[in-house]
Amino acid sequence: MLLLSVLLGFWRFELITFFYHLVLLIGFLCYLPWLLLRRKQGPSIKERLGYIPKIKKRKPFLIWIHAVSLGETKAVAPLASMLKETYGSDVQFVVSSGTATARAEVKKVIPFADDTLYLPLDFSWIMDPLIKEAQPDLVLISETDLWLNFLSVCKKYGAQLMIVNGKMSERSCSRYATFAWWSQRVFSQFDHICTQSRHYRDRYRFIGVHKEKISVTGNLKLDHVYPVAPDLQEWKASLGLVDDDQILVIGSTHEPEERWFLEILDGLWKDFPRLKVLLVPRHPERFDSVANLIFESGQPFKRYTQNKTEEFRILLVDTMGILKKCYQIADCAIVAGSYVEHVGGHNILEPSEYGVPVIFGPCMHTQPELLELCLSYEAGLQVPMQELSGILRSLLTDENMRRGIGENGLQLIREHQGATARTLKIIKELLPKRASSDILDAYKVTAGWSRG
């Protein structure tokens, strides 16, 4: 019976591996035409196939951070900085990304990274030589981007694996529960999972992760406080904005949200002639199409990068990395991506960092913990599109209403920071404590890591 059980387990293991590679191959073949014909910057076919400079371990200790998107990269950056301060020059940092915007952000927010790369396709024959050469000691996965072979090969070569800022949508939880044989294979690799909230902890528990391996540490995004820009008045003047203007920032928009917002704004300018709108699309490859859409609406506008001086009602912010600076000069803000089901929301608390009242839509299923926080503190308004015009009129008219919501947001941010420090504490418990590289070197020749 024992032999039969072992054989069945091995057969299932090999079957999962075969079908996983088959799905990857089919996915890559479907992805290939887009990869060849796309216009935006991003990983090349060679990079996706693992033709990248080898990452050779050059320091006693190597930490590999994987953050697939721009938002996840920003969220994990303060943690990377704390790790750098804690472990010093003995540590080599490798940061892998999934998008061009995320990789560009790495250079800004994790400038001390020794190696950066796009994570290649998750075929075992690509991952094995890559990880064998790098020999990571600790792998941190930000939020949700989980690749079976990457995880398995890292574990094979002795790495500690950890999810930080972990989340899991209700849909993903249901799928993992349905395919328990798959979820067990993925999540059994991890030494610890740090979740953003109790909601996510409960979902990991539901799919079978042991409670000893899960900690609720909070949302790292609430620790990434962008400093107030010192030149705001000069910057406003350079944009053609004056003190009498009322400024509405609409951030992180997706198709077709811009069209909907333009229709609503068309009815506001008669009553609010000094209203200026800073429109910030989420993805840079859509800047031109959004510009054409605004032109067709007939509203006077200009593009941020053109620096023209003519009158405008809409400023199209067609550059990356200044959305938070835009929020700092806003009277009120809309965080988009929350009016389209396929996106399901972004970080609705970014305006709250600056005491700016925030509006967002009904589609917030990917950010349930931020939604709960925002509503419980009355730091923002969840408004369906058909009611948006009326709410905007109220906010633009009532300064006390704006100030009250903004102050609630500031209180929320103050009371919920500290996720980075809590996550670092758990990492330090997982990893060996050492005072010098000599201690580290001595520790690394022993048989594996202890739990601390």
Q: Both tokens of residue 42?
A: 């991003």
Q: Does residue 76 sit in the same domain as residue 200?
A: yes
Structural domain containing residue 369: 232-415
Place of tokens 């941020």: 304
With respect to residue 358, please indicate whether it lies within any of the assigned structural domains: yes
With respect to residue 20, please indicate whether it lies within any of the assigned structural domains: no
Phi and psi of 279, rounded to 5°? -100, 120
Q: Both tokens of residue 383?
A: 């408004």
With respect to residue 38, please indicate whether it lies within any of the assigned structural domains: no
Q: Does residue 282 sit in the same domain as residue 363?
A: yes
Query: What is the pLDDT at residue 440?
Result: 41
d(CA 317, CA 325): 11
Assign residue 214 the CATH number of its domain: 3.40.50.11720
Segment 169-202, tens digit of pLDDT: 888 899 999 988 888 888 999 999 999 888 889 9
The Cα-based distances of 386 to 76, 225, 255, 348, 383 in angstroms read 36, 33, 17, 20, 8
Cis peptide before 351 (omega within 30 of 0): no
Q: Does residue 133 sit in the same domain as residue 180?
A: yes
Q: Does residue 208 sit in the same domain as residue 261?
A: no
Query: What is the pLDDT at residue 36?
Result: 65
With respect to residue 444, please indicate whether it lies within any of the assigned structural domains: no
Q: Both tokens of residue 311?
A: 């009158």
Query: What is the pLDDT at residue 28?
Result: 67
Q: Does residue 84 sit in the same domain as residue 148?
A: yes
Q: Does residue 217 sit in the same domain as residue 264?
A: no
pTM: 0.71
d(CA 260, CA 257): 5
Reported as half-sphere exposure (CB side, CA atoms, 13 A), residue 306 has a value of: 12
Assign residue 340 the CATH number of its domain: 3.40.50.2000
Low-confidence ranges of the chain (pLDDT < 70): 1-16, 28, 31-32, 34-43, 224-226, 432-452
Q: Does residue 373 sit in the same domain as residue 333?
A: yes
Is residue 382 within 8 Å of residue 360, measured between CB atoms?
yes
d(CA 49, CA 119): 9
Q: Does residue 162 sit in the same domain as residue 218?
A: yes
Query: What is the pLDDT at residue 35?
Result: 60
Query: What is the pLDDT at residue 230?
Result: 79
The Cα-based distances of 264 to 244, 257, 326, 351, 372 in angstroms read 22, 11, 21, 21, 27
d(CA 320, CA 107): 14
Query: What is the pLDDT at residue 12?
Result: 53
Reported as half-sphere exposure (CB side, CA atoms, 13 A), residue 168 has a value of: 24
Q: At a CB cut-off of 8 Å and minimum separation 6, what does 130 contact?
A: 50, 52, 54, 55, 120, 153
d(CA 131, CA 123): 12
Q: Does residue 211 sit in the same domain as residue 282?
A: no
With respect to residue 30, please indicate whether it lies within any of the assigned structural domains: no
Packing angle, helices 180-187 and 2-37, rounded to 10? 80
Q: Does residue 398 sit in the same domain as residue 423?
A: no
Q: At a CB cut-off of 8 Å and minimum separation 6, what does 149 contact?
A: 20, 122, 123, 124, 127, 128
Paired strand residues for 166:
195
d(CA 274, CA 279): 16
Q: Does residue 178 sit in the same domain as residue 264?
A: no
d(CA 164, CA 193): 6
Q: Both tokens of residue 185?
A: 């294979």
With respect to residue 452, please indicate whether it lies within any of the assigned structural domains: no
With respect to residue 149, please indicate whether it lies within any of the assigned structural domains: yes
Query: What is the pLDDT at residue 226?
Result: 66
With respect to residue 215, please indicate whether it lies within any of the assigned structural domains: yes
Q: Does residue 177 sit in the same domain as residue 243?
A: no
The Cα-based distances of 199 to 96, 217, 273, 360 in angstroms read 28, 12, 44, 21
The Cα-based distances of 430 to 67, 214, 252, 276, 322 in angstroms read 20, 13, 37, 51, 36
User: What is the chain's alpha carbon radius of gyration, rounded to the nearest angstrom?
Assistant: 24
Is residue 222 within 8 Å of residue 294, measured between CB atoms?
no
Domain count, the chain: 2
Give the number of other Cβ atoms within 10 Å of residue 425's Cβ. Answer: 12
